[in-house]
Amino acid sequence: MTIDEVGLADPSAKRVGREGSAGSEGSSLRGLVAGIVGRPIAFGSAIFLIAIILACLAAPLIAPYDPLHQNLSEAMMLPSPAHILGTDDLGRDVFSRLLYGGQPAFLGVLVGSLACFLVGVPLGLVAGYGGRKLDSVISAVGDLLLSIPSIVVILAILAVFNHNIAAPMATLGILTSGGLLRVVRAVTLEARDQLYVRAAKVSGLGPFRILFRHILPAVAGPALVQLGIFAGVALTLQAGLGFLGLDVPPPNPSWGNMIGEAAHVISNFPWLLVPSGGIVALTTLAFGLLSDGVHDTLSNARKAISIGTRRSTHAVRGVPARSQGAGADSEASTVEAPVLDIADLRVSFGAGKVAVAGVSLACSAGEIVGLVGESGSGKSVTSLACLGLLPGNATVTAQRLAVNGVDVIGFSERQFRDIRGSEIGYISQEPMSSLDPSFTVGSILREAVRRHEPRLDRRQREQRVLQLLAEVQLPSPEVTVRKYSFELSGGMAQRVCIALALAGRPKLLIADEPTTALDVTVQADILDLLRQLRDRERLTIVLVTHDLAVVADICERVIVLQNGKVVEQASTDDLFSSPQHDYTKSLIAATPNILVA
Amino acid sequence: MARSRDAADAREDLLELDHITVRFRGRGRGASFTAVDDVSLALHPGEVVGLVGESGSGKSTIGNVMLGLVKPDEGTITYGGRDITNVGLRQRHSAGINIQAIFQDPYNSLNPALRIGEILTEPVRLRTGASRRDASELIRGLLERVDLPADAASRYPSSFSGGQRQRIAIARALSVQPRVLVCDEPTSALDVSTQSRIIGLLSELRDELGVALLFITHDLALTRSFANRVIVLERGRVVEEGTARQVCDAPTNPYTQLLIASVPVPDPQQQRERRRQRAALASQVAQARTP
């Protein structure tokens, strides 16, 4: 499935064969709600917050006592059936006071959030969408707001608006809006370059419509996260102001002044601090956890954790005669053990989405085998299963899954890590995003060499890095080692990725659409390179691709997959001259041919 | 580059780019990069012009110039005989200029937060001022035309495959009855069988509606069967142009020859022969490039 769904959205990247990802987009409100319901911690926090807010709003109805009613004969009592949270030093019911005290607390948070939102979001949108000049002015204003010490300003405001909640909280909101502004600006800048925004422009939509319809929805999520964080900060700060006696005028309760009152009697009645301090702590925590949940839902943080393969218990299915192992066409495989040997591999995701339904294949040393199919055929999933790189919701079973004669069924993540790079190398279709842009080519390769050959000293390691770069025929390796990935062309980046894959001297290279994102001339060069590596190192290459023309160029044998099953398997010459299966025929017919038309 | 219209002079030019140059200012020391260098081309109604080149050849920039997303530094754009070089993107609608686009990445070209119905209604209502009812009627027809189920209007983009999304993008472009359609690598992110169906749909629409297509692609094999004329770009300059057959079967420019020899064909025997030809050409072009 798509592991890279969110994050690096590169509009220029040519992606092929990405499988449908129904429901993975968290940008719609419904998706957001569903995402939060699916996360127990975030959902619990949301329920908690809603319950507290409703209870505080309904305080006049549900509070058992008048919050101001004093009864000195029942002062400083621990919780009892009559007073479920006890009483304070003046004999007032703590539970009732908490309910009433929550009203100014949430009013303050609401006012502050609104102020923050009303200043930060519009300014951020304009800064992100309005062009460079507006951006520099607004960003400067945002930075200025962030640099003002808010507590000093708030105390000054309180000197004017004594015992007022809205004024200091609105001030805090405006002063903090610099952070929200930055987030909104960044999201807007990114959304502005999306193709759907460009399409809207081309169809003649004005900037306001584009901002409202197409950019605001993208901004909404990250802005919510920021507001959640702000709410926590505002609540704590407000408690501080209450502690100092600066919020609601006494004897009216607020969570902050209740903490202050508790502090006065802390030596002879410590319990009093528990309800007031506890509610502030829990509510702040709930705001934080809820915004965490929103953030996770938006970034859809489904990590690609690898999982082991289980030995399948069911019997081996009959394999079509023409696809009986690798032996049919190549002499060598009858003598040598296959480099890759898969029998009855089955992979399904989550609840029942079957991606691979019983694939069996074998590749012998020095062979280039094409694994061909359209999106959803299971070709990428099959190759990722060999590497132990399927997402955590995948269920993998197989009769046999052997790499260089080593059975990897039941391998742990650690064991897989040991064979990745040293037994199997892997290159992907997006060479640019496979290389970390914050390191030079040299340091990326040195790291890989250090991992595979820890005993080399510095000079030897440097030598090996240069040798690897020379092996993939990069011109002037001494210059290339100092470059960053973004300074390379697509073809050069793919060569570096191949060098990286070869660092551990693997016998098997899995190349997943290695040339799909490249220009045709560069594609031909990379295919030449792969061919040479095979000849020189007797490397076995499994080429995962949708492009039968590439297969015709480089592969000796082809395995055609459809809907997770092998439908045909033959030598390349046989497959193209006499395709047996209808699906193969239709694939060949659909492949554009510059010689025929 | 005046030879851009020899055969077609009889017919009226719908859209014409005349000696267009686009420079991008580099960051810092004011170094600028010429993305498009003195390019002229013309589109006629019902014609498919293939614009072919490698990454960095300036082919997408030319498409963006046509769409009004990029302003040329030099040269003029003529639409139906009128100079529209200085007509801004938002004035284009009121000026009666109707050029729409289909982009490469179907995963990125539809707003994930909107239903298909909303995505399609937006341009229709803006352009034609149609009532909600008329617009939804039109959309039902459009969805049918591009072979999507009628209930598609109420679903979100995430529930469609790449090919289906590209059909939606085509429906969106067609909803305002454009006269020119700029297709920027519309099939390069799709499976081959999906690709051939989308190409089939586009050529049907060209025949039915007489819309002119600028087909930007890096895939020469596609242009041979689909495009009427092909223009080959190298580093912002036109190096060869002619009918699709001429360019693909008998290229005269060495770069075009290399480009064509590099396209693999789905036939192992022929491909072996082509590989040899390419190796010879590649060294020839490399020699020509080193002064």
| Distance (Å, whole) CA B276 – CA B279 | 5
Chain A residues whose CB is inside 8 A of the B172 CB are 199, 203
- Which tokens sit at A555? 């592969």
Number of domains in chain B: 1
Chain A residues whose CB is inside 8 A of the B191 CB are 16-17, 374-375, 546
Q: What is residue B4's predicted lDDT score, i.e. its pLDDT? A: 43
* Chain B contact for A206 (CB, 8 A cutoff): yes
Q: How does residue B182 score in pLDDT terms, banded at 50, 70 and 90?
A: very high
Q: How many CA atoms lie within 13 Å of A326's alpha carbon, on the beta-carbon side?
A: 27
pLDDT in tens, B27-55: 655 568 899 999 999 999 999 999 999 88
C-alpha pair distances (Å), B202 with each of A198, A587, B145, B165, B222: 21, 20, 11, 14, 13
Q: How far is C-alpha A106 from the chain's CA centre?
A: 33
Report chain B's terminal Cα–Cα distance, integer Å.
25
* Chain A contact for B92 (CB, 8 A cutoff): yes
Q: What is residue A305's predicted lDDT score, i.e. its pLDDT? A: 40
Q: What is residue B10's predicted lDDT score, i.e. its pLDDT? A: 44
C-alpha pair distances (Å), B159 with each of A2, B148, B165, B167, B277: 14, 12, 9, 13, 45
Asked if B122 and A203 come within 8 Å (Cβ–Cβ), the reply is yes
Tell me the mean pLDDT in the region B72-87: 92
Residue B2 has pLDDT above 80, yes or no: no
Chain B residues whose CB is inside 8 A of the A28 CB are 112-113, 156
Domain-embedded: residue B115:
no
Asked if B268 and A206 come within 8 Å (Cβ–Cβ), the reply is no
CA nearest neighbour of B50 among A196, A592, A489: A592
Taking chain A (597 residues) in runs of 10, the rounded mean pLDDT of each run is 33 34 47 83 94 94 91 90 90 93 93 95 92 91 92 91 90 93 92 87 84 86 90 93 88 92 91 94 95 81 46 43 39 65 89 86 93 89 88 85 87 86 89 87 92 90 93 89 89 93 92 90 93 93 93 95 93 94 92 82
C-alpha pair distances (Å), A530 with each of A182, A340, A508, B204, B273: 46, 18, 12, 40, 18
Equal fold, A99-290 vs A310-435+488-590: no
Asked if A198 and B69 come within 8 Å (Cβ–Cβ), the reply is yes
Q: How does residue B262 score in pLDDT terms, banded at 50, 70 and 90?
A: very high
**307-346 of A, contacting B, C-beta below 8 A:** none
Asked if B126 and A18 come within 8 Å (Cβ–Cβ), the reply is no
Hey, of A368, A375, A595, which one would you mutate to test binding to chain B, going by the most B CBs within 10 A of its CB?
A: A595
The DSSP string of B152-201 is GGGS-GGGS-HHHHHHHHHHHHHTT--SEEEEESTTTTS-HHHHHHHHHH
Q: Which of A11, A553, A587 sits opposite B275 (nearest CB)?
A: A553
**172-191 of A, contacting B, C-beta below 8 A:** none
**13-32 of A, contacting B, C-beta below 8 A:** 13-18, 20-25, 27-28
Asked if A201 and B89 come within 8 Å (Cβ–Cβ), the reply is yes
Domain-embedded: residue B273:
yes
pLDDT in tens, A433-468: 888 888 899 999 999 999 888 899 999 999 999 999
* Chain A contact for B104 (CB, 8 A cutoff): yes
The DSSP string of A173-188 is HHHHHHHHHHHHHHHH
Hey, of B91, B126, B191, B217, which one would you mutate to test binding to chain A, going by the most A CBs within 10 A of its CB?
A: B191
Q: What is residue B188's predicted lDDT score, i.e. its pLDDT? A: 83
Domain-embedded: residue B153:
no
CATH number of A99-290: 1.10.3720.10
Radius of gyration (C-alpha) of chain A in whole angstroms: 32
Q: Angle A216-243/A255-264 helices, nearest 10 degrees?
A: 30
Q: Nearest CA to CA, how far is B194 from chain A (Å)?
A: 9
Would the pTM count as exceeding 0.95? no
Q: Which of A24, A520, A546 sits opposite B192 (nearest CB)?
A: A546
Asked if B108 and A20 come within 8 Å (Cβ–Cβ), the reply is no
Share above pLDDT 90 across residues of chain B, in percent, rounded to a whole number: 48
Q: Which of A203, A552, A553 sits opposite B126 (nearest CB)?
A: A203
Asked if B90 and A204 come within 8 Å (Cβ–Cβ), the reply is yes
| CATH class of the domain whose range is A310-435+488-590 | alpha beta
* Chain B contact for A131 (CB, 8 A cutoff): no
Q: Which of A199, A587, A594 sits opposite B224 (nearest CB)?
A: A594
Show Cβ contacts of residue B278 under 8 Å, excluding neighbours closer than 6 positions: A524, B258, B261, B262
Q: What is residue A496's predicted lDDT score, i.e. its pLDDT? A: 94
pLDDT in tens, A282-320: 999 999 999 988 888 877 643 334 445 666 544 333 333
* Chain A contact for B284 (CB, 8 A cutoff): no
Mean pLDDT of chain B: 87
**31-70 of B, contacting A, C-beta below 8 A:** 54-55, 67-69
Diameter of chain B by CA atoms? Answer: 65
Asked if B69 and A202 come within 8 Å (Cβ–Cβ), the reply is yes
* Chain A contact for B142 (CB, 8 A cutoff): no
Residue ranges of the domains in chain A?
A: 99-290, 310-435+488-590
Chain B residues whose CB is inside 8 A of the A23 CB are 158-159
Choice between B195 and A298, residue whose per-residue pLDDT is larger: B195
Asked if B262 and A524 come within 8 Å (Cβ–Cβ), the reply is yes
- Residue B87 contacts residue B29 (beta carbons within 8 Å): no
* Chain A contact for B269 (CB, 8 A cutoff): yes
Range of the domain at B261: 251-291
Report chain A's terminal Cα–Cα distance, integer Å.
36
Chain B residues whose CB is inside 8 A of the A213 CB are 111, 114, 122
